[in-house]
Amino acid sequence: MKDHFIERIRNREAIIGIIGLGYVGLPLAREFLKKNFTILGFDVDNSKIEKLHKGESYIRHIDEQFLDEYIIKKKKFSATSDFSRLHEVDAIIICVPTPLDEHYNPDLSFVLNSTSIIAENLKKGHLVVLESTTYPGTTDEEMLPILEKSGLKVGEDFFLGFSPEREDPGNKNFDTGKIPKVVSSITPNGLEVMKELYSTIVTVVPVSSTRVAEASKILENTYRAINIALVNELKMVFDRMDIDIWEVIRAADTKPFGFQAFYPGPGLGGHCIPIDPFYLTWKAKEYDLHTHFIELAGEINNSMPYYVIEKTGRALNSLGKIMKGAKILVVGVAYKPDVDDMRESPALKIIDLLLKEEAIVEYYDPYIPSLPKTRKYDLILNSIELEKIEDNRYDAAVIVTNHSNIDYPVLLKKACVVIDTRNALNQEGLHSDKIRKA
C-alpha cells in the first residue's frame, strides 16, 4: 500500500482532497497545483465554491490569474460542498478552524465533524492528514478512534498523520512553499508517505510522533505570545516612566546575539497566537499541571484593548472632551498589516468597548469594506472613505493596524487627536502635537 501510494505521488496520479478552503487550505492547494497535482477542494461555504469556479479569489494574496489558469484553463482544481466525493481522492488534508469557546476551552467541532465525514467515506489506501493546530494527542486520541469505526485499521488499510500549518498571510518573504513543514504519522509507513507527498512542495522535517508535531506548533506560537506579552507589559511600565518603548527595542535590537525583537500592540490577533497556547493550557490540566507563563501572557495580551481605551479617554480629556458622544475613528481592523484577515483582531474588541462607552464609532480599513458577524461580535459597520471625510471630523482616531497603504498625513487632518498603538506615525516620519502613543 505504501509503495503504491508513493508511486502515484511520483507520477502525479494522486488526487489531493483539501477540506477547508480558507487562509490555510487555499494556499496549500496552490502549492500542490504548481507541482502538477490534481486538487479537489471541500468547503461548507458555497459562496467560496462559486467564486473559485469563476476564477475569483476571496483571499488577497491568492492571485486570480493563478486560479484562472488552474481552474478554468487547466481544470486541475475544482471545489465542492459534496463530501461524498471524498472517495474520489487519495489524500485528505484537513484545514479547518480550531477556535476557543467562550470559556477558553478548545473547540474541536470542526475537526471532529470533518473526521466523522471522512470515516463515512474512508477507503483502503487513503491518507488522512490534519493540519489544524490543536493540543498534543488530538490525532491519536480523538481522530483515530473515529476513523477506525469504519472498520478499517490504521497502518493496514489507511494512513493517518499530522502536519501543522505554518501560514503567515501577507508575508512576502515566506509563503507556503518556502516554510519547512513538520510531518508526522501514527505509523512508520504513513510517515514515509507523508514525507513523499509534502516533499514535492516544500522542505520536510519528519518527527517521531504526531504528538511531537502537535506540540511543536503549540511551542512556536506560545513562544511568540509570551514574548509579545513581555513587551506589552514593558510598554505600560515605560509609559509611566516616560520612556519610549519603541526606542528601547531599537536599542536592544542592535545586540547581535541573545535578543530577538518583539513589538507591542493593542492586543493579539490572528488564527494562531491568541488561541493556540490555550490548547496546551487546557490539555495540561489533564496532567494536574498549570501553565503559568501561558496564562499570565494571555492575561496581559487580553488586557491591551482596555489599555488602548484608557489612553483614548486620557487623550480626549486633554482636549476637554469625554468618551460619551465622542466621534472616534478606528484605523485598521485586520489583525495585521496589509492583509484582509480580521480573525481575532483586537480592533473588534476595541470597537466593542468604545460602543459600550457610548462613543460614536466609525472605522477605516482599505482591505475590509464591512465587518461580518463573528463568533464574539455582531458589529454592523462599513469602512469609511478617508479621503472624502472633512478635516477634524473625529475627536480621536485610534491606529490599531498599520497598513502600508494608509495615507497617514491625510489621517492626521481628519482627527483632533490620534492615538497610535503601532508607532506608525513615527515610522512615517510624522510629528504633530495631535499624536499620542499607546
Cell 496546551 sits on residue: 280
Instruction: Give the Cα separation of 198 and 32 in Å (integer).
Output: 9
Polymer length of the chain: 438
CB of 250 within 8 A of CB of 302? Answer: no
Q: Which residues contact 61 (CB under 8 A, 6 or more apart)?
A: 27, 169, 170, 175, 339
Contacts of 276 (CB under 8 A, 6+ apart): 133, 217, 218, 221, 222, 225
178 close to 168: Cβ distance less than 8 angstroms: no
Query: How far is Cα 274 from Cα 88, in angstroms, rounded to an integer?
Result: 36
Within 10 Å of residue 167's Cβ, how many Cβ atoms? 24
CB atoms within 10 A of CB 326: 22
Cα dihedral 410, 414, 416, 422, rounded to 10, equals: -60
The Cα 183–Cα 227 span in angstroms is 26
Say if CB 207 and CB 216 are below 8 A apart: yes
* Pairing of the two strands 127-130 and 91-94: parallel
C-alpha cell belonging to residue 159: 494512513
Grid-cell match 466523522, residue found: 116
Report the distance separating Cα 366 and Cα 345, nearest Å: 15
Give the separation between CA 169 and CA 192, rounded to whole angstroms: 29
For the four alpha carbons of 206, 209, 214 and 220, in that order, the dihedral sign comes to: negative
272, 280, 316, 361: the active-site residue: 272
Note whether 309 and 326 are within 8 A (CB): no
| Farthest-apart Cα atoms in the chain, separation | 75
Cα dihedral sign for 70, 72, 78, 80? Answer: positive
Return the bridge partners of 415, or none.
394
**Cβ atoms of residues 46 and 79 within 8 Å:** no
Three-point CA angle 380, 383, 389, nearest 5° = 125
| 416 tagged catalytic | no
Catalytic residue list = 272
